[in-house]
Amino acid sequence: MANDLADLGTLEKAWRPLTAAERPKAEYYVGMASRAIRRRWQDIDLRITNPGDRLTHEDVADVVVQMVLSAVDGPPVRGAKSFSESVGPMSRTATLLAGSTNPANIEDWMVEVIEGRSAALPQFHAPPSGRYENLFEWQEGRS
């Protein structure tokens, strides 16, 4: 069996120290995330060790850690986007996600990291300007 793509030490650096009760659950989710990545990209281990490939072990570990955090650091209701609870006279509210509640779900930004298309570029969209250019012409300045 292949090694996991991240370790618990990396998870603890990103989150907090794990309790003894949380460690087995976190180990399971690290393994699950590693298996999900290896199922989608069978050559991931070769790419990590290839010096000509820009993908590093740290990049893949970042993806694994975020997949694990979505499973272990989520709201108490699985699949909830937000959760609130009040004590008296008892109230619980959960807003559920419209998408998958699978903690091994690979998000778009994770695909970009692994496939090498992640370039942080600004995105800007503006409607056509219309004919407003003459509003910014100062008649006093013309000779």
pLDDT digits (tens, 9 = 90+) for 36-67: 999 999 999 999 999 988 899 999 999 999 99
Contact 61, 5 (CB under 8 A): yes
Domain enclosing residue 50, as ranges: 8-118
Residue 23 lies in a domain: yes
Contact 59, 37 (CB under 8 A): no
Residue 94 lies in a domain: yes
Give mean pLDDT, residues 66-85.
Answer: 73
Residue 136 lies in a domain: no
Tokens 């090694």 sit on residue: 3
Residue 27 lies in a domain: yes
Give the pLDDT score at 137: 72
Confidence label for 84 from pLDDT (cuts 50, 70 and 90): confident
Say if residue 122's pLDDT is above 70. no
Q: What is the mean pLDDT of the chain?
A: 82
| Whole-number Å distance between alpha carbons of 57 and 55 | 7
| Total domain count, the chain | 1
Confidence label for 1 from pLDDT (cuts 50, 70 and 90): very low
